[in-house]
């Protein structure tokens, strides 16, 4: 719909196809692309955009620590006593340099204003406390690459000492 076009959102689209949608008209309106989410889709999209456009500004926002890792290895690593650090293939600093992008980890997105083409966020510290300072970014295109939500198990199961819930590297 019109809202999706205004904020640059595409659902159920492979990152390579979404890149084509974003960059098919190389116009002056592509100066800043904000990607919310730094999982496989968000990082792949940033990589594909950068391959096709070396001039635009790319900002990645994530509620998790931004790094590249192979998510299916989470369960394998747990059984082989690997640490979270051993699963990281690329750090935020490496990704930022390779993608020529601003990688902003540990944030909570508060608002997306499609009329003003702005999104607002707050930083979260390593203990989960939210910084009261609100930062607002202007964007020309915005992509929500927030991934899937895990199935919520009944509380009686989740509270068991025998159940581990691991959906991302920060959970690990």
Token pair 């997105």 in the structure block, residue: 109
Burial class, 58, CB count within 10 angstroms (exposed 0-12 / middle 13-18 / buried 19+): buried
Q: What is the pLDDT of residues 6-59, one digit of tens each?
A: 344 444 445 545 544 555 545 545 689 999 998 888 999 999 999 988 999 999
Tell me the two tokens of residue 83: 């640490």
Do the Cβ atoms of 53 and 45 come closer than 8 Å?
Answer: no
**Mean pLDDT for the chain?**
78
CA 141 from chain center: how many Å?
15
Q: What is the pLDDT of residues 109-135, one digit of tens each?
A: 999 999 999 999 999 987 888 888 999
Which of 49-53, 105-109, 161-165 is predicted least confidently? 161-165
Higher pLDDT, 171 or 77: 77
Q: Residue 165: pLDDT band by 50, 70, 90 thresholds?
A: low
The pLDDT of residue 4 is above 70: no
Give this prediction's pTM. 0.74
Question: For residue 89, what is the enclosing H or E element?
Answer: strand 88-90
pLDDT of the residue at 58: 97
């Amino acid at each position: 719909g019109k809202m999706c076009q205004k904020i640059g959102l595409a659902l159920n689209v492979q990152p390579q196809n979404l890149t084509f949608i974003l960059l098919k008209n190389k116009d002056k309106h592509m100066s800043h692309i904000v990607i919310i989410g730094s999982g496989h889709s968000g990082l792949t999209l940033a990589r594909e955009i950068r391959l096709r456009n070396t001039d635009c500004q790319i900002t990645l926002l994530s509620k998790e620590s931004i790094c590249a890792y192979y998510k299916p290895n989470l369960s394998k690593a747990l059984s082989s006593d690997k640490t979270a650090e051993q699963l990281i293939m690329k750090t935020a600093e490496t990704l930022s340099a390779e993608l020529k992008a601003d990688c902003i980890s540990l944030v909570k997105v508060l608002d997306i204003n499609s009329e003003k083409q702005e999104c607002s966020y707050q930083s979260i510290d390593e203990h989960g406390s939210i910084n009261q300072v609100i930062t607002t970014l202007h964007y020309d295109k915005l992509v929500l690459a927030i991934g899937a939500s895990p199935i919520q198990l009944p509380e009686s199961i989740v509270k068991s000492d025998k159940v581990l819930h691991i959906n991302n590297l920060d959970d690990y």
